[in-house]
Amino acid sequence: MTMPMRTEGPVRTRREGGVLEVTLDRPKANAIDLATSRAMGLVFRDFRDDETLRVAILRAAGDKFFCPGWDLKAAAAGDAVDGDYGVGGFGGLQELPNLNKPVIAAVNGICCGGGLELALSCDLILASRNATFALPEIRSGTVADAASIKLPKRIPYHVAMDLLLTGRWFDAEEALRWGLLKEITEPGDLLAKAWDLARLLESGPPLVYAAIKEVVREAEGRGFLDTLHRITKRHFPTVDRLYASEDQLEGARAFAEKRDPVWKGR
């Protein structure tokens, strides 16, 4: 299948080659209501299922906000906090099964609450120098649920607990220092840097990416020896497909012949 492009609405898409750019555009702050979350889930589901797409970039329109998370105005108007977020859960990414392709977050401006959880659902995060982050749920008497699970696995435990328990703001430099970010850019360079990274990944082996993502995901709930056994015995579907693929043989041949491999995704 080839996914349809969205040129209007709160979730827009465009593609160049195997790269899909997804733009969250919901003025004034890019907050996510139920309808927007469902739309994002459909976009990332179609990205997952389109074999011609290799990498996605998630960005937001404007310079002031990446995403503050849940739309409280929509909630006050009747959107239930436990409503239907769509196929991928909140923001289309957090619960989308079998998404075995790289996703890059390009973060500008304010990224807090569910917006930070959305960025944490991506594989790599680039941020502009004006980006600021927080998990302020504690101040409104609620739990940053996804962040409470993910953050202590991404950065030192005591740093994660500081951010979760205080809800304080931190800047891009601190986020980089703790390892949340791959890189900081100037605001005007953010999208170009994200595309450079996406094109680099687009040129890589998609079956290997798929295996890496499945192994990393499954390893979170398994012990080391169990996970390693499942890899070596080809119990992971992506690993089994990789080891039986033309790409696996092509990689070995290209190394032996001292040339760049030509990845076909099969």
- Is residue 117 annotated as a catalytic residue, yes or no? yes
- Say which of 21, 117, 202, 214 is annotated catalytic: 117
Any idea how long the chain is? 266
Catalytic one among 8, 21, 51, 137? 137
Residue 75 DSSP symbol: H
> Torsion angle of alpha carbons 204, 4, 1, 15, nearest 10°?
-20
Q: Is 138 exposed, middle or buried (0-12, 13-18, 19+ CB in 10 A)?
A: middle
3 state SS of 184: strand
Residues 6 or more apart whose CB falls under 8 angstroms from that of 52 comprise 2, 18
Residue 19: phi and psi, rounded to 5, are: -105, 130
CA 192 to chain centre: 18
- The CA distance from 217 to 81, in Å, is 26
Question: What is the helix (H) or strand (E) element at residue 148, kind and residue range?
Answer: helix 145-154
> In the structure encoding, which two tokens stand for residue 95, read together?
């619960």
Catalytic site includes residue 137? yes
Q: Which residues have a catalytic role annotated?
A: 117, 137
